[in-house]
Amino acid sequence: MHLLTLKDWSSEEVRELIDSSLDIKKNPEDYEFSLEGKSLAMIFQKTSTRTRLSFEVGMTQMGGHAVYMDWMTTNLVLSDLRDEVRSISGYVDGVMARVLKNSDLRIMAEASSVPVINGCDEKYHPCQIIADLVTMKEKKGRLDGLKVAYVGVHNNVCNSLIVGCTKAGVRIVTVTPVVNEASFDEGLVEAAKATGLYEHSLDVEAAVEGCDVVYTDTWVDMEFFLDSKFEKEKEKRVKAMLPFQINRKLLGDSDALIMHDMPIHRGYEIADDMVEGANSVIFVQSENRLHSAKAVLLKLLR
Ligand code: CP
């Protein structure tokens, strides 16, 4: 079993993972030796803070071991991906990979003899969304019937949030005036619409009205953030997206939880006072990456 996208997991499996994460958070000592003797290869083509830390620290805290593998300093950079991953999977009990292309992740899953976990690609970010749903359940005491407004670019996080919410019984409205074409998955959107829990709108005031959670994300994917070739597109996005910034003017006296998967760009997708405000659960959400990574590891490696 792999975790490439939440589309492949049933509602029951998603809900189990959320409950398991909450139990691990509450009783970490019960899991101290759960992965004793197990090893995880962590392959990164892109930068990361939370994904690397959550899986590496998660393995250590459960008695296992994680090996960080930078794409550029391993022979992944110069050899056939299938051969390298087949070889890597002979050493470890699981592979977690952050790659530029979902197609590479699928090749890795085919070649690997052990479970492969998606640590974020251009289409999906399933591990992030498990942590997000854990945070919602922890803070609200339930998931069924909650309403989430995602305001931002339609990207990989947006895709996985749509799937995760609809599988967990959460209503979601997306306000996404800009679509990241590389991320778009029409089948995912159509399947979500069919659940009756998902809608799209460009009326941001109406979307955030009465919702339980307001969620945003970066307007520019990490691999393009410092890329001078992307500068024009970045300027275009900032212009199009600034009217959709999460700020006090938009939210008024709303008591919705404020969520962001990080890294944050204050003054762009979200105003500084929203990050620091009483309703912000951004740093709890970030910490929950650790507990939910442990739940994913337990499910797939044990
Ligand atoms: N949210 C998230 O995946 O964080 P990193 O990119 O730092 O891993």
Compute the distance from residue 57 Cα to the ligand 1 centre, in Å: 14
The arithmetic mean of pLDDT across residues 241-247, rounded, is 97
Compute the distance from residue 17 Cα to the ligand 1 centre, in Å: 19
Compute the distance from residue 263 Cα to the ligand 1 centre, in Å: 7
- Nearest-atom index, ligand 1, CA of 222: 6
Q: Is 48 exposed, middle or buried (0-12, 13-18, 19+ CB in 10 A)?
A: middle
Instruction: 72-75: list long-range contacts, CB under 8 Å, 24+ apart.
Output: 74/43
Q: Are 220 and 240 in contact (CB under 8 A)?
A: no
Compute the distance from residue 107 Cα to the ligand 1 centre, in Å: 23
The arithmetic mean of pLDDT across residues 246-260, rounded, is 97
Does the CB atom of residue 261 touch ligand 1 within 6 A? yes
Please write the tens of the pLDDT for every residue from 84-107: 999 999 999 999 999 999 999 999
Nearest CA, atom 7, ligand 1:
49
- Nearest-atom index, ligand 1, CA of 51: 8
Nearest CA, atom 6, ligand 1:
48
Strand order in the sheet with 257-260: 198-200, 171-175, 147-151, 213-216, 257-260
Task: Ligand 1 pocket test: pick from 42, 46, 51 the residue with the most ligand atoms within 8 Å of its Cβ.
Answer: 51
Q: What percent of the chain has pLDDT over 90?
A: 95
Q: CA of 50: how far to CAs of 53, 141, 216, in Å?
A: 5, 25, 17
Does the CB atom of residue 128 touch ligand 1 within 6 A? yes
Compute the distance from residue 267 Cα to the ligand 1 centre, in Å: 19
Closest CA to 215 of 294, 158, 300, 139: 158
Neighbour tally for 256: CB within 10 Å: 19
Compute the distance from residue 68 Cα to the ligand 1 centre, in Å: 15
Compute the distance from residue 62 Cα to the ligand 1 centre, in Å: 21
Q: Is the pLDDT of residue 223 over 80?
A: no
As a 3-state breakdown, the chain gives helix, strand, coil percent values, each rounded to 5, of 50, 15, 35
- Nearest-atom index, ligand 1, CA of 98: 8
Q: Is the pLDDT of residue 224 over 90?
A: no
Compute the distance from residue 222 Cα to the ligand 1 centre, in Å: 9
Does the CB atom of residue 262 touch ligand 1 within 6 A? yes
Does the CB atom of residue 53 touch ligand 1 within 6 A? no
- Nearest-atom index, ligand 1, CA of 49: 7
Q: Are 138 and 165 in contact (CB under 8 A)?
A: no
What sign does the dihedral 132-180-234-4 (CA atoms) show? positive
Please write the tens of the pLDDT for every residue from 105-162: 999 999 999 999 999 999 999 999 999 999 999 999 999 999 999 999 999 999 999 9
Q: Is the overall model pTM greater than 0.95, yes or no?
A: yes
**Average pLDDT along the chain:** 97
Please write the tens of the pLDDT for every residue from 1-50: 999 999 999 999 999 999 999 999 999 999 999 999 999 999 999 999 99
